[in-house]
Structures are given as structure tokens and as C-alpha cells.
């Protein structure tokens, strides 16, 4: 199992446990995690698809996948903003 996939699985389980501890139901918590992953990965793919028009791209590695996958759109925005700083 790749290390990045392991980190994603651990963070997904941590988010599910946190959601269940806060009183959110298991299915609703799973839905929130799935929605964040979908939005994060989709926005990362969209940024890289539009890279020629935007003038920059976000590298797809374990850090950007975890940020986009766990935080959703804000994680992808953070990874894109770090491209301007670096």
C-alpha cells in the first residue's frame, strides 16, 4: 500500500471518529468526508487541467492530495496559494 493512500485512510478514519464523537451520525459523517474528498480532488484536477490558462499548476503529491482530500476546497486553495509563496 502506498504511503499516501495510508495517510488518506488514517485521516478519513480520524474524521469519522471525530464526527461520531461530536454527535454527528456515522452516515452523515461519512458523507461529509466523501464530499470533502470529492471536492478536493476534483478542484485539484481542475486547476491542473486549466494550468495553461492560469499560468501555474499544483503538483500532485501526497501533501497536496491530503490537503485537498481532507479539507476540500480550502485545502486546494491553500495548496494553490503556497505555489505563489514558494
Confirm if 29 and 16 have CB atoms less than 8 A apart.
Answer: yes
29: pLDDT strictly greater than 70: no
Q: What is the number of domains present in the chain? A: 1
> Which residues make Cβ contacts (< 8 Å) with residue 66, sequence separation at least 6?
4, 7, 8, 11, 75
**For 40-59, what is each residue's pLDDT tens digit?**
888 888 888 888 998 888 88
Full-model pTM: 0.61
pLDDT at 2: 63
- Eight-class DSSP state of 61: S
Query: Which is higher by pLDDT, 78 or 23?
Result: 78
pLDDT at 4: 64
pLDDT at 28: 72
Which residue is associated with the grid cell 468526508?
33
Tell me the residue range of the domain where 29 lies: 3-85
Q: What phi and psi, each to the nearest 5 degrees, are found at residue 3? A: -65, -40
Amino acid at each position: 500500500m502506498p504511503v499516501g493512500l495510508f495517510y488518506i485512510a488514517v485521516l478519513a478514519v480520524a474524521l469519522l471518529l471525530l464526527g461520531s464523537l461530536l454527535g454527528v451520525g456515522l452516515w452523515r459523517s461519512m458523507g461529509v468526508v466523501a464530499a470533502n474528498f470529492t471536492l478536493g480532488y476534483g478542484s485539484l484536477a481542475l486547476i491542473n487541467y486549466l494550468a495553461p490558462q492560469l499560468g501555474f499548476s499544483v503538483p500532485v503529491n501526497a501533501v497536496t492530495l491530503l490537503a485537498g482530500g481532507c479539507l476540500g476546497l480550502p485545502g486546494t486553495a491553500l495548496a494553490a496559494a503556497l505555489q505563489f509563496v514558494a
